[in-house]
Amino acid sequence: MDVLVIGNREDPERGYVGDALADRGATFREVWRGDLMTEDLPAGTPDVVLVLGSEWHVYDPEVRPAVEREIRFLRQAAAQEVPVLGICFGAQVLARAFGGDVRHDPGGGEVGWYTVDSDDPALPEGPYVQWHSDVFSVPPGAVELARSPVGPQAFALGSAFAVQFHPEVTPQILHRWAVGGHATISRWGLDRERLLAEADERAEASRGHAEALVEAFLAGEFRR
């Protein structure tokens, strides 16, 4: 299974989602968003596309060339019915690609551990790590599958499946985010040590949630 991964060099980890894909025979090719400022994505059709999160904002004019290339590629992949899984920023790019709106959340988004309200038994409700300040609207024709008080948390459209939360996050990933995101943690009034302790405590459950999500995604259970 050839999996094309779109991400940022500064935040490249596939985490539990990558582990679940690898356990099912995936090999990975990586494309870095920074390169997409001047280069197109590689030709050819992968078996699966995994679109990771980012500190970028979809609507930021400074990264528009890369975002537009990513959008064009994702539209083409969806048209060819390639399974596409978008996480956080990846979900926002998918929303924008198919006519949804992406904007800054005036409440600041979500940072920390949260459950989601899921309509689909194949999509566990978590808790998951959230780390975002932007929110999206569900694109026309897509089906909203989960939500939280700030907005949609998952949608499906054809072969594309998008989640705002982070099923991939391991304790190691969260530790790196917590170190680099000290100001964000302070702004939210979070206890950094408690946040990281929860990652250790929830590690087995988090891996299980990612396993279930990936299994259902590859089986086509989220196709709409």
DSSP secondary structure of 87-125: ETHHHHHHHHHTT--EEE-TT--EEEEE--EES-TTS--
Residue 166 among the catalytic residues? yes
Of 88, 110, 198, 211, the catalytic one is: 88
Report d(CA 21, CA 173) in Å as an integer.
18
Least Cα distance to 98 among 133, 58, 63 occurs for 58
Token readout for 108 is 């600041």
Tell me if residue 131 falls in helix, strand or coil.
strand
Residue 168 among the catalytic residues? yes
Report d(CA 128, CA 97) in Å as an integer.
25
Report d(CA 171, CA 205) in Å as an integer.
12
Of 70, 168, 198, 211, the catalytic one is: 168
Radius of gyration of the chain (CA): 16
Residue 125 among the catalytic residues? no
Report d(CA 159, CA 217) in Å as an integer.
9
Of 166, 198, 209, 211, the catalytic one is: 166
Report d(CA 129, CA 141) in Å as an integer.
28
For the chain, the helix, strand and coil percentages under 3-state DSSP, each to the nearest 5: 40, 25, 35
- 48 backbone dihedrals φ, ψ, rounded to 5°: -145, 145
The residues annotated with a catalytic role in the active site are 88, 166, 168
